[in-house]
Amino acid sequence: MDVDAKIAGVHAIAAVGAAYISFIVSNGSIAVLGNNQALGTFAGLIILIIVGNLTERWLGKEEVGGFKGWLWSGIVPFVFIWFVVWAMLINI
């Protein structure tokens, strides 16, 4: 399997999980946090950084291709899927 496809697949799965966590945090389901959209966004970005670092360790820094490889194979699919799933959860 191509390295770019592996990176995109891992980030797509993580994006769905991050969207659900962001929904829980931003929807006020956790009483202590209240209804906080910014905290939901922050949670998603933290998950993106963690998944990016784990993917880089798993595949190797040379295979990922540095920030440019991570941007197009990881960040862009993650942000797109995360935002779409989060918006769908909010509107349900």
The domain total for the chain is: 1
CA 33 – CA 64 distance, rounded (Å): 36
Query: Per-residue confidence at 88, pLDDT binned at 50, 70, 90?
Result: very high
pLDDT at 92: 83
In Å, how far are 2, 5, 29, 58 from 32, measured between CA atoms? 43, 39, 9, 36
pLDDT at 71: 81
pLDDT at 2: 85
- Average of pLDDT values for 13-21? 94
Range of the domain at 68: 3-90
Reported pTM: 0.85
pLDDT at 32: 59
- Helix pair 3-26, 76-90: axis angle to 10 deg: 30
Please write the tens of the pLDDT for every residue from 31-84: 556 677 888 888 899 999 999 889 888 887 777 777 777 788 888 999 999 999
SS3 42: helix
